[in-house]
Amino acid sequence: MVNNCLIYGIHTCKEVLNSDRVVVNKVYLLKNNKQDINWLQMINCNCVTYLNRSGFNNLFSTRVVHQGVAMEVTINCNNSLIELKNIDSNYTIAMLDNVTDPHNVGAIIRSAAVFGIKAIITHNRSSCKISGIVAKAASGGLAHVKIFSVNNLANAIRELKKYGFWIVSLCESGNVYLHEINLKGKICLILGAEGKGIRRLQKEQSDFIVKLPTTSYFSTLNVSATAAISFYEVAHQNGFVINQG
């Protein structure tokens, strides 16, 4: 499955050049752009179009922070999980159940890239599509995280279990804390939207339903914040290495 969209912003556009899952079809540059765009030398000049400010702003339906750079890209979103069948023993992925806000999805992808989460599984109807807003919020993370878009999350969980994955759902009503379980090996973390949370079928198939330690008087976290904390815990248990670069 392919996903075509318009992405924008220097860091977002620069990072996708390093990805084999993103194809750049066209580049738009603002005339007399004072930003450093020497990295665009990596792109075929035949696909670059220069626009004045009015023309550039007309590319977008809403006001965005584009920094004078935009790209029409094709993002490959796999609809088959078969490549997860024979993978290394330590491999963590995340599944998003009913997470529809593009800013949250983008932030989750960004955190996944930071903490080494290999892939994210979404539902092709009840989750938001990969878009410019998602890409911008991911701040280049799309170049480093595989995206799977499947027809049925419950079926996807059953398939992952056959491949040796442990299924861990994050819920405020969890009966154990995340840091109390072993997160080494093949792990799939399920994150649900605020309000609706994770649906019943996904919970029923989970090996663990866990929660984060919070204060007793205020326990609600945004889903992207929950994801970042959970991804860090996975990285920590698997020998997180601080970036020295």
Distance (Å, whole) CA 27 – CA 8: 10
Measure the CA angle with vertex 57, ends 51 and 61; round to 5°.
Answer: 135
State the alpha helices, DSSP H only, in 119-152: 132-138
pLDDT tens digit string along 96-134? 998 999 999 999 999 999 999 999 999 988 777 888 999
Nearest to 166 by CA among 226, 107, 91: 91
Nearest to 139 by CA among 6, 3, 16, 5: 16
pLDDT tens digit string along 167-179? 999 998 899 999 9
Entry pTM: 0.90
Contact 110, 141 (CB under 8 A): yes
Bridge-based pairing of strands 69-76 and 2-8 is antiparallel
Q: 240: which 2 tokens?
A: 């997180």
pLDDT-derived band at 165, boundaries 50, 70, 90 = very high
Q: 5: which 2 tokens?
A: 């969209």
pLDDT tens digit string along 57-104? 899 988 888 888 999 999 888 889 999 999 878 899 999 998 999 999
